[in-house]
Structure 1
């Protein structure tokens, strides 16, 4: 992808074929992350907050981390380590994720018999 100068970042489902083997979700604790880079420059990052989030990207290498604050159930703030890729993705994600979420609530592909 980088030879064509196409750069991107986005979430991906965990059961996609061709993803590199990362640590199991059960081994990760909150704030842990791991990443793997393929030979063609595509990086896969897995980060666990409450659930595991997987991203595919060609922009960064996925190694840099930062601290973000999260609210606990009792109202206190906790500092959690997070890859910079996830922070940038959350900042710049557009209406695509919102549209996919809204589409999932409505089933418009029902077929009916019309005589």
Structure 2
């Protein structure tokens, strides 16, 4: 979020963000926080749907498809519809999944587990929807993993965790590193128009981080 509280038709409110009001920017980040592509959300006349989420992802990664890459998305983007679109482009998807996302199997959503138990359902085209019980239920989608587990260090010792979750936790830090580096020395000032704020953020924020 690029903070802005003035009048703007596509100003967004996102609860939980440090700056709740402002211009929403979608980013595609690589390892180390490098920003590969970005897109400013300019608003829609219709409510946000799966089609909007899918179009955002396809826009950000359009020029690097067809190469067998792996993309990690949070539960706002992840869906079986997006997974099938990427599969057609020889691209893989891994991400957490919302319970109410369309086409998510109801039997896996409603399943009750004890801690450590896992249920995996896989389609004929290799898309796996998994539910794993840790401290709470974790629902996620993977096009590369089934039920493989790996041991990780825990404050109480060694602990087994699903390999898909380990990979996702590692990759989701890419965007966090980018935002963290940008926050150390913010170039945003209060008394400028929204378009100048966006321009300053892109020129002096994003470009400097990428150069580093």
What TM bracket, shorter-length normalisation?
0.5 to 0.7
Provide the secondary structure at the position in 1 that maps to 2:92.
Answer: coil
TM-score (norm 1): 0.64
Aligned residues: 90
Structure 2 residue runs without a partner (length 5+): 1-83, 180-212
Match of 2:108 in 1: 22
Provide the secondary structure at the position in 1 that maps to 2:108.
Answer: coil
Match of 1:61 in 2: 145
TM-score (norm 2): 0.37
Q: Distance in 2 between matches of 1:82 and 1:64?
A: 9
Q: Distance in 2 between matches of 1:3 and 1:54?
A: 24
More helix by share: 2
Larger RCO (CA within 8 A; separation ≥ 6): 1
Structure 1 residue runs without a partner (length 5+): 72-76, 100-115
Q: Distance in 1 between matches of 2:88 and 2:145?
A: 16
- By how many angstroms is 1:68 displaced? 3.0
Given candidates 70, 89, 95, the residue that maps to 2:175 is: 95
Q: Distance in 1 between matches of 2:99 and 2:117?
A: 17
